[in-house]
Amino acid sequence: MSPSKQRGRDFAIILKSLSDLGYVVEWRVINAADYGMPQRRKRVFILAYLEKSTIFKQLKKTLALDWLISKGTLASALPVYSDNFSRQNVFNLEDDIVNISSSFNSLGGASLFENCGLMVNGSVTTLKTVPKIEGKPICLGDVLQNGEVTEDFYINENDIKKWHYLKGPKKEVRKNASGFEYNYSEGGMHFPDPLNKPSRTIITGEGGPSPSRFKHVVLTEKGYRRLSPVELERLNMFPDNHTELEGVTNTKRAFFMGNALVVGVVEKIGLALKEKLKMPQNYNRLDKASVLSFAKKIKDKSLREVCDESILEHNYSGKGNFGQILEKYYFQYEPNSDSEADFSEINLELKATPLKQLKNRHYRSKERLVLNIINYLEIVDQDFVNSTFWKKNSNLLLIFYLHNFSQDILDYVIKLVDEWNFPKNDLEIIKGIGKNKEENS
């Protein structure tokens, strides 16, 4: 893509363009077969995060090498390691795109970019990484439609010699259209393609019956044949007949697969992105501002949206189960009935309570909020300020969710999150009632 005398120039332009738009960028060259997928298809995957995004905030707290090797989105999706940290380049893309185009790597030589990297505010860290290969790969033989392929995919015996020639090694003199003679050579390719390995890369010219150096050919009990559209779909990990549409020929279906990505790679990256985009499951219990900030991030969201998949395994039921799920899977502490506040370090008690929506679309409390259970035998011996009630409930974190009988509890939307304290006038009245009871007794 880049000029031979400016290797890496065009990729530098891509990175700089994204940086100018307010993105930080990570990238990796990924071969799908390295992660057990059925096709050797090597592509550059680029992820760009706006500088105001959740992922950028995580990235900003992480060393570049840690992000690339273990903590980043791509590293989480498709693990790697580096056996040579000396193959690391760090440099800045400070010029504008015009100057980068004319001067990047103008002294020539190898590209400055390795197969993995990160750019933040114009600062590039790039590193040679190696995939962590686990398990047995899916091979070409694993995706074949045995006995299900129509006769038009089988190669005519009269064409076998032409196929052998095109796929074989060559060293010959050729003549172009103007009569100029030149030496031509190329290495041989497997014929037929081996079934015990992931396939070669599918290209757009995979379809059609004409002999070709680049089309896949397999040897079956019935003879040599090309790959069917379903088999090409399987090599890219699409569902069978994904491209079977009205008016779309088999040749065009093959063309589609030659232009596609191996979706298994995309799926893994997507799942890792989903995890990164969830609300961060950490906060400082010793800092009220941190707890409140973390709590307010769930406003207008459901528990399913903000918690990881382990929430699906909850076994809470009955009255108060929403609050218990919220405590365990979002705030990550075990629900309890202790006499102290849930966040005792900062004297803050968490209470979750349902709302209902009226016909005029206004909201109203669905039920009374129970603050705590009182021991009537002990409470009479306590003054209000030192009572277990006041110790637990003097400062409340209230979370209101919209109850909906037609929804799963994990899909209830949280409508209001706020800190609440007893109004001063009300508090004086409550204290006065307690004082009067003490005097009367």
CATH of the domain at 406: 3.40.600.10
Q: Measure CA 389 to chain center.
A: 45
Which of 96-100, 104-108, 114-118, 224-228 shows the lowest mean pLDDT across its residues?
104-108
Domain boundary among 264, 297, 313: 264
Helix (H, G, I), strand (E, B) or coil at 357: strand
161: three-class secondary structure by DSSP: helix
- Shared domain for 111 and 255, answered yes or no, is no
Residue 278: pLDDT band with limits 50, 70, 90: low
Q: Are residues 303 and 411 in the same domain?
A: yes
Q: What is the CA radius of gyration of the chain?
A: 32
| 179 C-beta neighbours (distance < 10 Å), count | 6
pLDDT, position 436: 54
Q: Over the stretch 158-209, which tens digit does the pLDDT of each residue have?
A: 999 999 999 999 999 999 999 999 999 999 999 999 999 999 999 999 999 9
Q: Name the domain count of the chain.
A: 3
> pLDDT tens digit string along 119-139?
999 999 999 999 998 788 999
If DSSP codes are grouped into helix, strand and coil, which group holds residue 254? Answer: helix
Mean pLDDT is lowest, of 65-69, 207-211, 424-428, for 424-428
Does position 372 have pLDDT exceeding 90, yes or no?
no
Cis ω for the linkage preceding 280 (within 30 of 0): no
The arithmetic mean of pLDDT across residues 142-149, rounded, is 91
Structure confidence at residue 437 as a pLDDT band (50, 70, 90): low
**End residue of a domain, out of 232, 264, 296:** 264
Model pLDDT, residue 179:
92
Kindly list the distances between the CA atom of residue 327 and the CA atoms of 263, 311, 330, 342, in Å, as whole numbers in the listed order.
36, 11, 6, 9
Mean pLDDT, range 54-80, rounded to an integer = 90
Whether residue 332 has pLDDT greater than 90: no
Higher local confidence (pLDDT), 401 or 86: 401
Comparing 52 with 325, which gets the higher pLDDT? Answer: 325
Task: Identify the sign of the CA torsion 428, 430, 436, 441.
Answer: negative
Residue 176 lies in a domain: yes
Residues 320, 237 share a domain: no
Q: Would you say residue 209 lies in a domain?
A: yes
Same domain, 125 and 170: no
pLDDT band for 373, please (50, 70, 90 cuts): confident
Residue 2 in any domain: the answer is no
* pLDDT tens digit sequence for 4-50: 888 999 999 999 999 999 999 999 999 999 999 999 999 999 999 98
For residues 403 and 335, give the distance between their C-alpha atoms in angstroms, rounded to a whole number. 21
Handedness of CA 208, 209, 212, 218 (dihedral sign): positive
pLDDT of residue 439: 53
Give the integer Cα–Cα distance in Å for 310 and 360: 37
Q: What confidence score (pLDDT) does residue 285 get?
A: 85
74 near 28, Cβ under 8 Å?
yes
Q: Which of the pair, 371 or 277, is modelled with greater confidence?
A: 371
Residue type for position 145: Q
Task: With cut-offs at 50, 70 and 90, classify the pLDDT of residue 435.
Answer: low
Q: Which amino acid, 416?
A: L
Question: Residue 425 corresponds to which amino acid?
Answer: N
Cβ atoms 396, 419 nearer than 8 A = yes
Q: In terms of domains, do 108 and 149 share one?
A: no
Is 272 contained in some domain?
no
pLDDT at 440 over 70: no
pLDDT higher than 80, residue 2: no
Structure tokens at 244: 């079977």
Q: How many CB atoms lie within 10 A of CB 46?
A: 16
**pLDDT > 90? residue 281:** no
The pLDDT of residue 132 = 92
| Structure confidence at residue 135 (pLDDT) | 81
Contact 245, 229 (CB under 8 A): no
Average pLDDT over all residues of the chain: 90
Whether residues 154 and 48 fall in one domain: no
Q: Residue 1: its pLDDT value, please?
A: 65
Q: Would 240 be classed as within a structural domain?
A: yes
CA distances from 255 to 96, 144, 232 (A): 38, 19, 10
**Same domain, yes or no, for 76 and 209?**
no
Identify the CATH number of the domain in which residue 256 sits: 3.90.120.10
Give the pLDDT confidence score for residue 78 in this predicted structure. 96
**DSSP letter, residue 310:** G
pLDDT at 108: 84
Amino acid 337: pLDDT:
81
DSSP 314-381: ----STTHHHHHIIIIIS-S-----SS-TBGGGTBEEEEEEEEE-TTS-EEESSPPP-----HHHHTT
Percent of the chain's residues with pLDDT above 70: 96
DSSP label at residue 327? I
User: Do residues 127 and 145 share a domain?
Assistant: no
Name the band, by pLDDT with cuts 50, 70 and 90, for residue 86. low
Judge whether 248 lies within some domain: yes
Give kind and range of the element (H or E) at residue 399.
strand 395-402
- Find the Cα–Cα–Cα–Cα dihedral 86, 8, 70, 52, rounded to 10°: 130
Give yes or no: residues 288 and 213 share one domain. no
pTM (two decimals): 0.65
355 and 436, same domain (yes or no): yes
Same domain, 156 and 305: no
Domain span holding position 150: 140-264
Distance CA 36, CA 46 (A): 21
pLDDT tens for 382-413 read 777 788 888 899 999 999 999 999 999 999 99
Say whether both 405 and 423 belong to one domain: yes
The pLDDT of residue 280 is above 60: no
Task: For residue 196, count other CB atoms closer than 10 A to its CB.
Answer: 9
Choose one of 209, 230, 264: the last residue of a domain: 264
pLDDT-derived band at 299, boundaries 50, 70, 90: very high
Residue 254 lies in a domain: yes
Confidence class for position 415, pLDDT limits 50, 70, 90? very high
Q: What pLDDT score does 157 carry?
A: 93
pLDDT given at position 276: 82
**Rounded to whole angstroms, how far apart are CA atoms 92 and 112?**
11
pLDDT band, very low/low/confident/very high, at 434 (cuts 50, 70, 90) = low
219, part of any domain:
yes
Q: Which of 24, 13, 21, 26 is closest to 95 using CA atoms? A: 13
* Own/partner long-range contacts of 91-94 (Cβ < 8 Å, ≥24 apart): 91/123, 91/124, 92/122, 92/123, 92/124, 93/12, 93/15, 93/16, 93/19, 93/119, 93/122, 93/124, 94/122
